[in-house]
Amino acid sequence: MKSALFKICFLISEILLCQVTFVINKVFGGAACISAHWTGTMPSDKNPIPKAFFKYMKENLPDSKTHRLYFVYSNQTLDALYLPFQKKVSEGLLEKGYDKNILYEGADHSENSWSERLEIPLIYLFEKKSD
Domain boundaries, the chain: 2-126
pLDDT tops 50 at residue 17: yes
Predicted confidence band of residue 106 (pLDDT cuts 50, 70, 90): very high
pLDDT tops 50 at residue 8: no
**pLDDT tens by residue, 26-83:** 566 788 888 777 676 666 778 888 888 888 888 888 889 888 888 888 899 888 888 8
Q: What is the dihedral of CA 74, 87, 35, 61, to 10 degrees?
A: 150
pLDDT score of 49 = 81
Residue of 70, 76, 44, 77 whose CA lies nearest to 126: 70
